[in-house]
Amino acid sequence: MPNETQQELPLWANLLEQPVLQPTKFLSENLEEHFSSAPLAVTFYSLRGGVGRTTALAYTALALVKAGKRVICIDSDLEAPGLSDIFGLREQETSDKGLVPLLIHLEYEDMEPPKVLEHILRYKDEDLYVLPAGILNTEYARALRWLDMEAWYRGDQRNPIKILMRILSNSQIQPDVILLDARTGISQTNAPFLFDMSDMVVVCLYPHPQAERGNELVVQALGARKNYAGFTTETRFILSPLPAAPEIFNAYKERGITWIQKWLKPYQPQNTFEELNAEELTHAIPYTELLAGSDTIESKTLNIYADVATWILDLLPPSLPIKAADNSESEIEKEVLAELLSLAQTNTGVAEQNDLEKVKKFFVKSSQYEKLLDNKTVFIIGRKGTGKTELFRHFIDIKQAKPLAIPKQLQDKYPSYQIPNISTYQEWDKQFQADDAKWRRFWLIQTLISIDSSIKKEEVQSLPEFELAAQLDGLMNVSLPLLVVDGLDDGFGSDTKGLQTRLDVIKGLLDFWYQYAQQKIPMKIFIRYDLWEKVIVVNKSHFYGYDERLVWTMEDYLKVITKIAAQSEEFRKLYAKESGVVNPLPDAIEWEKAWNLLFGERIDSKNAYAKNWFWKRLADANDEHSVRLLLVLFKTALESEKNEIKRTRVLIRSSKLKDALPTVSQQAITALQEEYGVELADLLRQLEKTIQTTPFSETELNGVDKSELDLARTIGLIKVRSDGRLAIPDLYRISLNMSRQGPG
């Protein structure tokens, strides 16, 4: 930067008055294209002292070393040095060694790497090295006056800091990471590290009102200039030390995250749909006596800073460098992607649309599977899209169960059964309008004709309930089939009458089971969660122990994708090449290896692992997950990726997954509108047109009925935070064009 003007220099006075430089470009979003052998430079900074900055750096360094990395720590807090103390290295220091003597020497002449390394101390034979500032005495104070601070702002011509960083980078230590402990406040000694030489800056603060405005300016300044590599500096945050009491800890943490989300608003990532998420960029540290009372670092408290180390690890290149694929490999990958897309398109994620072979091929036996098979489990409760109907079909097609009711779209697939449709329900409701027990009697009859096909509905539908019950008792001495019920959540219409009829039909089914089928007739009854919560029966405790919520674990959920991939012959060939397994069959594919071949281990450094990214982005406000939307994301990314040549061995790049999020979010909102458009009409309209940020106060909603909010919470559209505000998850936020202003 030899030609930089005074305005272009990394000076606080210049940058505090500048807006965030657009467009932002983060290293974390370009890991697949940016390969560098240089160590990652990370500066730990705090506007004020007493927030655990040096402690955080020391524990992070140790965590990185435990992860197999070589680390150099530099004490660049020249006016209040102390890094060597926390590592217990003070006794090894000498008065003529340290950062200050080095910088003075490098202002005038070069030094050989071995001479520079004489100033560095090693921590306990670990791959952890410390460059102290110097011994704090009279000579040190005089030496500070000799430092030419202006030289730190030069370009590459005799800039002692840049020369030192180059020497350390190329030294025999070969560091993976260089951690810098910066001076507090607005100081000319910390600006070059913060605004020019760092890949990442970790801002440490305590979320007291006095800290808000100053740290906001710091974050703005960090974005006002690109760093040495042409990237917007990665910024992370440590809130420390927060009160340990859980309620107070959470309150301070939420305050800090809300501030940080606001500070990050001017930053605009390359992917406009993937906003910076303050929660993912912030780590909160509670006050602990063990940490506060330790003069040096203690391994017992190492895990407290594991997340901070992960931020750094996720910006490092993999141990084995990823090579650009040659033309032949690119063609192979195109064939794999094309076949994967074809398979993914055949699995719609809508059980009603898949044929029997697809049900068998793509069915994932979750960790709940055995419990769902148990005769004690009768009521299988799940949210829309969580796989209820897929499981229902599995019971019919694989377990030879007989259906009492079937989803509307499946009725043509099972023509041999006497299945009620919406007209059946409407006619029954009209014919027996005055009968309070009409729906219990309806299910009695439906059960009779399902068990004994010789019984005709028209012959028994006018019989009193006690006669129907006697006929059912007469069938108890024969081998009874498993009876299954699904499809009571659609086809009734969205008007008030239709919605009430649906609840009455479900209530009648529950009454029937309790009075006539309990412990007598094997049944599996599939009910959507919000309807299960809404239906009113005399005593719901009668059903305790007989119900099971369909809840995906992350592993089972993601296996839906790898199960599809395992069916691809081209993918299995690639898997065999990468894993060394010869001719693997679909069931022999290890899901995590398959997953990493598809997506890699990481999305980017802001979202550590690809598995976590999928899990978080596809979660509703109740942390429920839809298989349907998982497949939409997979297919949309495949479609975008299939014809492009990549530099990585990852089949589907993170940029393509992020680009697919708006499509997923739109489909999620569309599904809500189709199902709850009448009941949530006012709320959805206001969320789309009026509410611009999340979380928000309930008072910002104009006249929305409490029942709407209750339903929105039940179905996972809205989450109530601990501070009472309402939050919209990313799954819906993107389509609603809302931005974040704090934790969700």
Alpha helices in 549-648 (DSSP H): 554-566, 569-579, 591-599, 610-617, 627-641
pLDDT for residue 232: 92
pLDDT tens readout for residues 84-143:
999 999 999 998 899 999 999 998 888 888 899 999 999 998 999 999 999 989 999 999
293-300 mean pLDDT: 71
pLDDT tens readout for residues 507-544:
999 999 999 999 899 999 999 988 998 898 878 888 98
pLDDT over threshold 70, residue 736: yes
179-187 mean pLDDT: 95
pLDDT tens readout for residues 678-694:
889 999 999 999 998 89
Give CA torsion, residues 94, 99, 105, 109, to 10 deg: 130
pLDDT for residue 347: 65
HSE toward the beta carbon, residue 36, CA cutoff 13 A = 20
pLDDT class of 324 with cuts at 50, 70, 90: very low
pLDDT over threshold 70, residue 587: yes
DSSP secondary structure letter of residue 720: E
Tell me if residue 483 falls in helix, strand or coil: strand
709-738 mean pLDDT: 92
pLDDT over threshold 60, residue 675: yes
Query: By percentage, how much of the chain surpasses pLDDT 70?
Result: 90
As a whole number of angstroms, the distance between CA 269 and CA 231 comes to 11
Query: Taking phi first (over 0 means left), then psi (-120 to 50 degrees means alpha), and beta for anything else, what does residue 337 get?
Result: alpha
pLDDT for residue 273: 62
651-656 mean pLDDT: 86
pTM: 0.70
pLDDT over threshold 50, residue 664: yes
With 0-12 CB in 10 A as exposed, 13-18 as middle and 19+ as buried, what is 560? buried
Distances (CA, A) of 236 to 70, 117, 157, 283, 647: 21, 30, 31, 8, 28
pLDDT for residue 257: 94
pLDDT class of 45 with cuts at 50, 70, 90: very high
pLDDT tens readout for residues 414-469:
877 778 888 899 999 998 888 888 999 999 999 999 999 888 888 898 899 999 99
Tokens 């898997």 found at: 575
DSSP assignment of 328-346 equals HHHHHHHHHHHHHHHHHHH
pLDDT for residue 335: 78
DSSP assignment of 444-474 equals HHHHHHHH-TTS-HHHHTTS-HHHHHHHHHH
The CB density around residue 1, as the number of other CB atoms within 10 Å, is 15
The CB density around residue 455, as the number of other CB atoms within 10 Å, is 16
Q: Which of 74-78, 220-224, 361-365 has the lowest mean pLDDT?
A: 361-365
Give CA torsion, residues 223, 226, 229, 234, to 10 deg: 0
pLDDT tens readout for residues 334-344:
777 787 778 77
| Closest C-alpha among 307, 202, 198 to residue 607 | 307
Q: Which of 166-175, 589-598, 599-608 has the lowest mean pLDDT?
A: 599-608
pLDDT class of 482 with cuts at 50, 70, 90: very high
pLDDT for residue 112: 87
How long is the chain?
744
